Amino acid sequence: MGDMSTKDSRLPGHPSKRPSRRKRAERHQPSRDVHASNGVRLQKVLADAGLGSRRSCEQLIVDGRVSVDGTQVRELGTRIDPDKQSVEVDAMPITTHTDKVYLAFNKPRKVVSSMGDPEGRKNLDDYVGDRPERLFHVGRLDYETEGLLLLTNDGELSNRLSHPSYEIPKTYLAQVRGTIAKDVSARLRDGIELDDGLAHADSFKLIETVQGVSLVEIVLHEGRNRIVRRMMDAVGNPVIRLVRTKFGPIELAEQRQGKVRSLRPDEIGALFEAVKM
């Protein structure tokens, strides 16, 4: 018999020199060549997309956090075609088209959600008219409603975000007249019959009531004209003030009224993910 005192790395308590199962799987996993010889270095594409400095983007690649066309890339010399290839960081898609712009605007009251107005009222052109891009507003807010409005020159994204099939939720804070009856939340979620059909709220929450004025939060994915105002009228609590605070994954947060800001890369990626782009 052999010497049983000899250490065997296969026995419990002894470290194995064999690579882990995960490492062995990665070693034998077929890789797809995503390198485009006449393309742009991947770290430059990431930096141009706002992911950080060139050096920090190189670290993202080395750490295995970047994928191109679904294939993990760790080689710093990799070049890609940003117009034809898709890039993800931490499984979140990023935009590689540097000519595309994605903006969040905190619309004040009495501003028309269009790039011009035949009546001469204040409109979006007064805030972004000096930009060279042709911008689309994603959906619209009525003249009296305030809050978050997305603007972009990415026509496909704009169309998808506006299309009812993607059911993008929009969140509103509303000051309404009167106290909220106990059955209002259920009525709104079950559906309110309006003159253009049934309208459902995804959720409804009473925040507070002070001196006959209630503050409520309502979430819905429909985008019909003045739908929140009409729904609240139907349950006997007409709107005094209405602010959209969230559009899909994008939040208004502390953005000042009348200000425009560029969306962060992670916010853009979240929008792409929401509409399966």
Contact 254, 236 (CB under 8 A): no
The architecture of the domain spanning 102-165+250-275 is: 2-Layer Sandwich (3.30)
Instruction: Break the chain down into helix, strand, coil percent, rounded to 5.
Output: 25, 30, 50
Active site residues: 142
pLDDT at 243: 98
Phi, psi for residue 200 in degrees, rounded to 5:
-110, 140
pLDDT at 49: 79
Q: Give the CATH number of domain 169-247.
A: 3.30.70.1560
pLDDT in tens, the chain (277 residues): 444 444 444 444 444 454 444 443 344 333 468 888 778 889 888 887 778 888 889 999 999 999 999 999 999 889 998 888 889 999 988 877 768 899 999 999 999 999 999 999 999 999 999 999 889 899 889 999 999 999 999 888 898 999 989 999 999 999 999 999 999 999 999 999 999 999 999 999 999 999 999 999 999 998 888 999 999 999 999 999 999 999 999 999 999 999 999 998 889 889 988 988 7
- DSSP secondary-structure letter at 242? E
Same fold, 40-93 and 102-165+250-275: no
Contacts of 209 (CB under 8 A, 6+ apart): 179, 180, 215
pLDDT at 6: 41
Interior angle at CA 84, CA 79 and CA 88, nearest 5: 70
Residue 54: strand, helix, or coil: helix
Single-letter amino acid, residue 173: L
Domain 40-93 has CATH 3.10.290.10: yes
Residue 159: strand, helix, or coil: helix
The domain segmentation of the chain, as residue ranges, is 40-93, 102-165+250-275, 169-247
pLDDT at 32: 63
Tokens found for residue 20: 């882990």
Between the CA atoms of 61, 65, 71 and 74, what dihedral angle is there, to the nearest 10 degrees? 30
Q: Rg of the Cα trace of the chain?
A: 26
pLDDT at 37: 76
CA distance 227 to 72: 45
Contacts of 147 (CB under 8 A, 6+ apart): 106, 107, 141, 172, 242, 243, 244, 245, 252
